[in-house]
Structure 1
Amino acid sequence: MSRTAAIIGAGVIGAGWAARFLLNGWNVRVFDPDPETEARVLSVLTAARLALPGLGDVALPPEGELSFPGLISETVRGADWVQESVPERIELKQKIYQALQASMEEKAILASSTSGFTPSELQAGSPRAGQILVAHPFNPVYLLPLVEVVASDRTTAEDVTRATEILTAIGMSPLKVRAEVPAHIADRLLEAVWREALWLVKDGVATTGEIDDAIRMGFGLRWAQMGLFETYRIVGGEGGMAYFLHQFGPALQWPWSKLTDVPEMDDDLVNRIAEQSDAQTGAQSIAEMEAQRDRNLVGILRALGYTGNGAGAVQLAADARNLATSGVPARFEEIDPAAPVRTIHRAVPLDWIDYNGHMTEARYLHVFGDATDRMMILVGCDRDYVAEGQSFFTVETHIRHIDEVRAGARLTVETRVLEGQGKKMHLWHELYSGDRLLATAEHMLLHVDLESRRSSPLTPLLAERLAILAKGHAALPRPVGLARAVGDRP
């Protein structure tokens, strides 16, 4: 049964929330009196459809339904989650909560995207104060997993748990803040760096571009995978964090920082920062910068997913949840031997797109290779099997490219076993996007002893399972294109 999220306020953050919920299978209703609301949300959604589905290696659930009711009451009625993302004015937020709570379900979560206010401030004057909590995300909401969850002592532990479970289920990483403090955790850290950066510009020490280079060429890359404390833990070497603190702690007393002082934002400083920032950006439009940001973030997050570091661990967990409902069997016993086996269910990542605007040639082989790996696992050739010294090597591949596919599109591969006996595993893959056949691949593999690096007979378990699939798949119509040579006419 589909769940419903109501988004109140559809600026950059609200629109990002709408995309995050919608692409994770929730029905979404959006309310914002601005006449440009629908166009703005659809623009963000277009970017999200390109980026978010390709973040992992398993496709997201079917997209929910999007609507734009004309009244707040229609927007929140029956919703499971209400996300407020209106401007940062406490009186405005408190007034809107009265209207929201008059129509929303008592058991629904009412979450604020506020970056600065505490839950107690938001709850003041509310008839159901415990229903309100903070769920502060980071832009772009549809890609970055962090969301700070802050509750007051009027919020029940059950509601906090329910909120974190919902946020986790849509691929986010909830960080429960232990105490109510203005600006929570992440923005307090950002504020410290921001103040210091403003002083460096004001004092003529560095330009905006040089400061950004100091972050993105240096510690910013380390922070993406290790954060602050683990980065310094490594600096301490075998002596650990204690050694680091004893060695470098005294430097904190030196007058390096101006964190307790704020430069006056006079016209001279404002104009200097604006001019440097414009020169740094060049002729790029905001839309071009956002597209570049998303492409880079997808690449970074996917790289972290390969190792499970930082945000990569969140994506791996999301993939595992999505795989369970993808139609890809988790074990051999789930396979129907009379039908092709679904071995891939994923989307096209942004970094798989070539200069023609569609999936690059090499990625077709990538997908088919993953499909072969999945079939190997299903018949018993898993990590443990390989660790014991046996595996499969591919000896021949033939791919037919039939149709193109673009970023964000959903992909599935249906696999058949043509032969599985002796030393051979002969596979036939068909790649689809919806009902469109995109490509086929014929793969011949030999079972190999990894110590001798020579072909060897299948083990009894693999031979039995492959024989079951080969017999079942033999009753299916002969694949079109089977055994074709390059250049043969259809």
Structure 2
Amino acid sequence: MTVIKKVAVLGAGVIGAGWIARFAENGVTVGLFDPAPDARQKVEAVLSNAEYAYSRLEAGPRVKKGSITYAATLAEAVVNADLIVEAVPEVLSLKQSVYRDVEKCVAADVIIVSSTSGILPTDLQAGMDHPERLLVAHPFNPVYLLPLVEIVAGEQTAADVVEKAIAIYTELGMEALHIKKEIEAFVADRLLEAVWRESLWLIKDGIATTEEIDDAIRFGFGLRWAQMGLFETYRLAGGEAGMKHFIAQFGPCLQWPWTKLMDVPELTEELIDTIATQSEAQSGHYSFRQLERIRDDNLIAIMHALKTNNWGAGQTLIRTAAIRSQRLANTEHAEVIAEDINHPLLTLECAVSPEWTDYNNHMTESRYLQCFGDATDGLLQKIGVDADYVANGGSYFTVETHIRHLDEVKALELINVTTQVLAGKGKKCHVFHRLSHADGRMLATAEQLLIHVDMDSRSACEPTAQVTLQLEKIAAAHASLALPDGCGRAIGDPL
């Protein structure tokens, strides 16, 4: 694995702050330099959004967050950095000046990446002492959430630097798209520019408003693009005969004067005012931060749906979860926490996945049981009943469950389960789970009885001495706790 321990981010605008959030959420220490007086305020707002997003995006344990240092100088920010991320304004001379300052402070093998959205890396490299270390890593907003990063090498960029950069961004949960030939604005922005240019003409000519154009995208081809892109979508449009039939059928229309992609409408004050007025009418009733949250919630829901189908950006989530698991299993990155067992144990934290909900957007009954089952697994992990233990022939089977449904919870809302051990001796484990919303509301409770079994004979048996010791220790600590409300109830008991 190519885990980096520290990154220096130079510039805390929208892109720089997004990079800081992605690195920190992936356990990387960040040194930031930005002389703007409000840099910290802007970064902390983005960090808050990223925390909100990642808590809903990832289901399982998360790596410990990386710390962030707000450096007073560039030299202070880059100390001991394994990677330098430049995210300053799109001015070639400014970027080149930053590289000169960086090269005075870091070793020759430290990689420098630019977040530029269009400047050629060969131009960026001009004048560097070690141009082989520089390449472009162009992300998309929000950087902490969207997985795409375009990797573009300059004429002097070393091949091993490209390989290492791709490995780094892959481990950050991203899709590193290697653009193998330099071109201004790379690939994705060139496609966006074409749509943007045509949209400006549609507004200028009075054909459509900003909202109508956005509706055409979000209710139509945007949904297709989110999961199949352009060419795979058109392959389907060609029917069973495929792409050749599609081009034969629709290719001739490219000669028709449908678009104005070779012309640019003059951005007069009148056109700018028209666009701004329409945009304000479209979404001015939301604050900037509200729109960011709406955007992030929608992106997370789409990515979760793609994950369910193992497709597109969902494949990135699956791969990233495997990388996280490996990192957490590595003792170099895992943090051992001495848990206070004198209180009910936290055994599950997650967000309600969209596929867990019904037509009312409420979590279905079966998923309450799943939460409690996952919480039981969390308790078993704490006492040593892990995958290796089960592989060696021992496990606990749930033989009885009683659930009370107390409140509703919706997709993407945060939930947690705490577990109280009512009894743990011999073959039996008796537990009481409380499922709560992040706002403190009790959503449900479950009382469960588990029996330890021999996986080969499928009969009850005593657990190992180590598991017995851990379970009895927790049970003894919980014996002083009050019996929870609802404990021992059965259907038909008075409420």
TM over 0.5: yes
User: In the TM superposition, what are the counterparts of 1:191-340 in structure 2 within 5 Å?
Assistant: 191-326=193-328
Contact persistence 2:417–2:433 (CA under 8 A):
no
**SS of aligned partner of 1:15:** helix
Unaligned runs of 5+ in 1: 329-338, 383-391, 447-457
Deviates more, 1:470-479 or 1:217-226: 470-479
Q: Aligned letter for 1:367?
A: C
Q: Aligned letter for 1:255?
A: P
Q: 1:410 to 1:96 in 2, by over 3 A?
A: farther
**SS of aligned partner of 1:205:** coil
What is the match of residue 100 of structure 2?
A: 98
Unaligned runs of 5+ in 2: 331-340, 391-396
Shift of 1:262: 0.9
What is the match of residue 401 of structure 2?
A: 396
1:463 and 2:458 are equivalent in the alignment: yes
What is the match of residue 13 of structure 2?
A: 11
Q: 1:25 to 1:253 in 2, by over 3 A?
A: same
Shift of 1:95: 0.7
Deviates more, 1:163-172 or 1:150-159: 150-159
What is the match of residue 159 of structure 1?
A: 161
1:53 and 2:58 are equivalent in the alignment: no
Contact persistence 1:111–1:134 (CA under 8 A):
yes
**SS of aligned partner of 2:149:** strand
Q: 1:344 to 1:463 in 2, by over 3 A?
A: farther
What is the match of residue 488 of structure 2?
A: 484
Q: Aligned letter for 1:300?
A: I
**SS of aligned partner of 1:111:** strand
- Offset from partner CA, 1:255-280 (integer Å, 9 cap, x none): 11111111111122111111111111
What is the match of residue 23 of structure 1?
A: 25
1:68 and 2:70 are equivalent in the alignment: yes
**SS of aligned partner of 2:456:** helix
Q: Aligned letter for 1:368?
A: F
Contact persistence 1:416–1:428 (CA under 8 A):
yes
**SS of aligned partner of 2:242:** helix
Q: 1:483 to 1:217 in 2, by over 3 A?
A: same
Identity %: 42
What is the match of residue 131 of structure 1?
A: 133
What is the match of residue 338 of structure 2?
A: none
Q: 1:78 to 1:139 in 2, by over 3 A?
A: same
Q: Aligned letter for 1:484?
A: G
CA distance in 2 between partners of 1:137 and 1:379 (Å): 38
What is the match of residue 372 of structure 2?
A: 368
What is the match of residue 351 of structure 2?
A: 348
Contact persistence 1:429–1:442 (CA under 8 A):
yes
What is the match of residue 393 of structure 2?
A: none
The alignment covers a number of residue pairs equal to 447
Q: Choose from 62, 85, 110 the match for 1:108.
A: 110
Deviates more, 1:318-327 or 1:123-132: 318-327
Q: CA RMSD in A?
A: 4.4
What is the match of residue 188 of structure 2?
A: 186
- Offset from partner CA, 1:300-353 (integer Å, 9 cap, x none): 11221111211111011111122234469xxxxxxxxxx9xx99765436979x
**SS of aligned partner of 2:104:** helix
Contact persistence 1:399–1:440 (CA under 8 A):
yes
Contact persistence 1:49–1:408 (CA under 8 A):
no
CA distance in 1 between partners of 2:387 and 2:457 (Å): 6
CA distance in 2 between partners of 1:216 and 1:323 (Å): 34
Shift of 1:443: 4.1
Q: 1:199 to 1:16 in 2, by over 3 A?
A: same
TM-score calculated relative to the size of structure 1 = 0.78
Q: Aligned letter for 1:485?
A: R
- Offset from partner CA, 1:186-212 (integer Å, 9 cap, x none): 000000000110111111111111000
Contact persistence 1:110–1:131 (CA under 8 A):
yes
- Higher relative contact order structure (alpha carbons within 8 Å, sequence separation ≥ 6): 1
Deviates more, 1:479-488 or 1:144-153: 479-488
Contact persistence 2:421–2:429 (CA under 8 A):
no
Q: 1:122 to 1:379 in 2, by over 3 A?
A: closer
CA distance in 2 between partners of 1:36 and 1:23 (Å): 22
TM-score calculated relative to the size of structure 2 = 0.78
Shift of 1:462: 7.5
CA distance in 2 between partners of 1:425 and 1:379 (Å): 19
Q: Aligned letter for 1:348?
A: A
Q: Choose from 442, 447, 467 the match for 1:442.
A: 447
Q: Aligned letter for 2:227?
A: Q
